[in-house]
């Protein structure tokens, strides 16, 4: 259960995170508590899974990336660890995840400046992993959904 101060802190982190040298001190000041109290609360909220991460969300297009894709692979259980290392070796891979309830069990996303680079990476992943069953689902339209938990 979150108390009122936790709720206000979560809201501020989502909507008004201060871009200053000591952001948690600024948050503490706006909440009229100590910086140590804010840090303790953030650690507790992270440990409970209420806060997953605190960091910037970049707009790939503003960074020069014009092409994005979601790819799924059918990877045998015994090759998963090796294949994940191969996939993760590309800086253009933004994240990946395992889905054991699907025929395509390893999924990852790529952001690249060109379609040619996406094609190169997918070819290289297939070559290095030996996995041929890969589905490539390029982004057609981006839809942003924002959820804010208000105090």
- How far is residue 34's CA from residue 31's CA, in Å, rounded to a whole number? 9
What are the two backbone dihedrals, phi and then psi, of residue 107, each rounded to the nearest 5 degrees? -120, 145
**pLDDT profile of the chain (151 residues), mean per 10:** 93 92 97 97 93 80 78 93 95 88 88 92 96 91 73 71
With a threshold of 0.75, does the pTM exceed it? no
Rounded to whole angstroms, the Cα distance separating 132 from 5 reads 52
Please, are residues 133 and 74 in contact by the beta-carbon 8 Å criterion? yes
């Amino acid at each position: 259960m979150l108390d009122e101060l936790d709720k206000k802190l979560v809201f501020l982190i989502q909507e008004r995170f201060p871009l200053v040298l000591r952001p948690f001190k600024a948050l503490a000041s706006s909440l009229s508590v100590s910086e140590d109290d804010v840090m303790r609360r953030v650690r507790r909220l992270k440990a409970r899974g209420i806060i997953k991460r605190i960091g910037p969300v970049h707009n790939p297009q503003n960074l020069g990336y014009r092409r994005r894709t979601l790819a799924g692979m059918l990877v045998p259980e015994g090759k998963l660890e090796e294949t994940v290392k191969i996939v993760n070796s590309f800086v253009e891979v933004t994240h990946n995840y395992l889905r054991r309830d699907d025929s395509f069990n390893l999924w990852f996303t790529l952001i690249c400046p060109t379609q040619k680079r996406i094609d190169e990476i997918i070819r290289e992943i297939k070559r290095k992993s030996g996995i041929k069953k890969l589905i490539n689902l390029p982004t057609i339209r981006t839809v942003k959904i924002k959820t804010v938990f208000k105090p």
